[in-house]
Amino acid sequence: AQSVSQHNHHVILSEAASLELGCNYSYGGTVNLFWYVQYPGQHLQLLLKYFSGDPLVKGIKGFEAEFIKSKFSFNLRKPSVQWSDTAEYFCAVNAVTAGNKLTFGGGTRVLVKP
């Protein structure tokens, strides 16, 4: 079964700092990759996704993620964070040829200090 690892459980940074959240998965077949975000008191929303093509994908609110197949990674980045980026971020992987079930990482809580 596939698994997803997010390296940092908590990240604290100041506004305008750059953000990078790591995500690694274990599955050798074709995958769809996602980052979801959960703002305080809200439900999960899709931030960005990768299905195929350009491995650098851009999402909402200035976020981007890069799929590196050889490293089984899908790291999330934002060059300059804002206070409103305070949220919990979840990486998720869908193993296309293994039942199409979405597996989530443990999440990373990001706190942006104003």
Partner 1 sequence: NAGVTQTPKFRILKIGQSMTLQCAQDMNHNYMYWYRQDPGMGLKLIYYSVGAGITDKGEVPNGYNVSRSTTEDFPLRLELAAPSQTSVYFCASRVPGANVLTFGAGSRLTVL
Contacts of 100 (CB under 8 A, 6+ apart): 94
Cβ distance 29 to 96 under 8 Å?
yes
In the complex, the smallest distance separating the C-beta of residue 38 from partner 1, rounded to whole angstroms, is: 9
- Residue 51 interacting with partner 1 (CB under 8 A): yes
Task: By CB under 8 A, tell whether 59 contacts partner 1.
Answer: no
45 lies in the binding site for partner 1 (CB under 8 A): yes
- Cβ proximity to partner 1, 43 vs 69, nearer residue: 43
- Range in contact with partner 1 (rule: CB under 8 A) among 18-26, 39-47, 59-67, 77-85: 39-47
The closest alpha carbon to 78, from 103, 112, 55, 106, belongs to 112
Q: How many residues bind partner 1 (CB under 8 A)?
A: 23
- How many C-beta atoms lie closer than 10 Å to residue 107's C-beta? 18
